Structure 1
Amino acid sequence: MSIIVLLIFILLLLLRVPISLVLGITSFVFLLVSNNTGMLINAPQRLYSSLENYGLVAIPLFMLAGELMNSGGITIRLVKFAQSFVGHFRGGLAYVNILANTFLAAIIGSAAAQIAMMSKIMVPAMEKEGYKREFGAATTAAAGMLGPIIPPSMLFIIYGVSSGTSIGDMFMAGIIPGILISISFVVLIAYIGYKEQWQSSEKILWKERGVSFVKVLPALLVPGIIIWGIVTGAFTPTESAGIACVIAILIGFLFYRELKWRELPKVMINTAISTAIVTLLISMANLFGMVLTFERIPQLIAEWMTSVTSSPLVFLLIVNVFFLLLGMLIEGIAILIILTPIFAPLLPQFGIDPIHFGVIICLNVTIGILTPPVGSGLFLASSLGNVKLESLVKAIWPFVVVSIIVLFLITYIPELVLYIPSLFAANS
């Protein structure tokens, strides 16, 4: 019976059925063939109750803030601001792509949203300046990885809710890893630029840089206020998401004056669609988790892991390999919801901090968006950047390798993750 359900699961994945439907269909097939009437009757309640968590309210609010900021002209201003400071270097537009995405990650928190927005802007611009189109698309897709790592992060919210870990601490823990990824991409681009002998362009005057900074400053207030509020305890991450929406509306209407009343329905619809996709995935993954629990899969995995090794270093190595492979096949949100309750109870046995572990697995599944065969970031960048998938995969592998190096750095140097949360904990 379990073999039949597993075969259906694999078949649906191979047919490229959306992962939320794969999880839902597989779960209901299992409940039907197992003749488990009680679980089948309780399934609708399980779907609903999986979304009854105050922390999850932050997801649509941060999505709304991102939509408002984008409609209010923030994306273009971030690109121009980055270009005024690093655009004149060899490989300038590639640096601009990374820097602008770093700023954008502190506002949106979603890799898919960033890749979708920036592909339309940066890929044509980079091609116009002489870069290969596939390199422009690869740089944009890789830089989109920063969205789920630099706070506010949707993955951190979901992990925090699933594991009972402080979402505010998770936000703090993502700062240094996010900066490390950004710097590593800059170093990689510098190497490629030296190898390809790209030309530098004319330096922009400091006066123009100052003007660009003043224009983008209101937008940078959003992540600043979010982090300040969480650190000082002025408000929770969920409350900070609501405050971010208010600030985004004020900036868009009163300061930039690019956000129009007639655009608000479109903004709300886009937010509702994005939220529906995420919440459907959360509820279906939760139902699938119930099936796994019934089959004692969590207990079997826990017993196997503890029997294989007692070393936290080896345990983390196994976790990284497992999550990297799984990230190639399954959507990151589904992985977090299904597997976090399985691995979280094992952490005390190996002396691993849940915040450290959370950042590790969130980066793992984020790398998965850039890897075939299911990487959603690849398909977005390929489609919107008008690049063949095969060419994009070849161009993006250096970024994936660099990301994995950073992953192992933060895995085996926990201070890179825990330093900022411990700093603020000590001062509170």
Structure 2
Amino acid sequence: MEIRAPRGTEDLFGEDLELVVALEERFREHVRRFGFQEIRTPILEYAELFVRSVGPTTDIVEKEMFTFPDRGGRVLALRPEGTAPVVRAYVNHKLYADLLPVRLAYAGPMFRYERPQAGRQRQFHQLGVEVLGGEGPELDAEVIALGHEFLASLGLGDVRLELSSVGCPVCRPRYLERLREYFLPHRDELCPDCQRRLERNPLRILDCKLDRDKDFVREAPKLFDSLCDDCRRYHEEVAVHLTSLGIPFVVNPHLVRGLDYYVRTAFEWVDASLGAQDAVGGGGRYDGLVAELGGPPHGGIGFALGVERLVLGLKNRGIRLAPPRHVDVYVAAFGGGAARRLPLLFHLRRAGFVALGDADTEKVRTLLRRADRLGARVVVLVGDEEVARGEVAVKDLASGTQEAVREDELVAWLRRHLAQDG
């Protein structure tokens, strides 16, 4: 029986992999200009980390985590999101003892047991940032602007930024009680999961994949309308700072992030070209999370972007980030020149060229056809006569011209010739 990759995972290679690598490189370059340093956390974490941070009543913890016991009986999880591991590392290594705020960025795979579909896999990849030990609406606006300018730099400037507030420990409990009272008469119309959430955390009903599009759910009281004066003022100041930076946004009072650690600022980027699953990323403020994981009472804010969703958005717009794959030089060795193929290839590669080559004792045309299929710009031909003269014959595949070049002058000749071709 043929063994295939597990459902919800995929092999990356060729142009798709080049696009993902280009995205990661662009992201690292972009966040570096904002003073961020990269962090790499383990793919494996104790499941307790996500229960305490993301929330025991979230879909991630209740239904989507890949968990298993280790030999010591502790339950491990493949990380489903990036914020909690970064905050854990911040606490474990006392990164807060350094200059605050601490700006950290990450890129890597995450895992959630979901129904696979376009842009949503069980193993997926995220690009994210976290700012820890910093507070205030101005910082929130800076982090959001960082993400928005990154998307614009990719050619995704038409992605819509949606901004909201999810309240704080003062105003959210009052709102949850309003929600519970509102949904009680509709209990039998809710899915089984949401019937349980009604008592434990009715906020999760608004984010349920099965119930959120029902009319009575859409008409439920909005958290945004129940904000306390401090939260409302904070939201307004974030909006003022974004406007001063020229970042366009819309206020979405229905926006509810699916993780329990968020407070106050919440936001998403929405790409209309993706259809129903249109969120390419989002984030928010999480001021109580550091203390919850054993650290000082430091605030935090961050976001994550879904790489697979970004790739779909770029493809929908016909945007290429990675340069087309090409071969600078193809070494075609034949006859007595076959022994020169490998030394020539490494000589050219050490000089910085993308070089491939083959040897064929009889069929030079076969080698030329292969060079053409690989997209080589020039072919270096080396046979008995070239070896005897200490030369190679260099053929430009575009023009068809051919020229004899001394082997010790080949690198300099290629640099001049390929520079002229752009």
Q: Which TM-score applies when normalising by structure 1?
A: 0.21
Q: Which of the pair has more CA radius of gyration? A: 2
Q: Which has the higher strand share?
A: 2
- By relative contact order (CA 8 Å, sep 6+), the higher-ranking structure is 1
Q: Which has the higher helix share?
A: 1
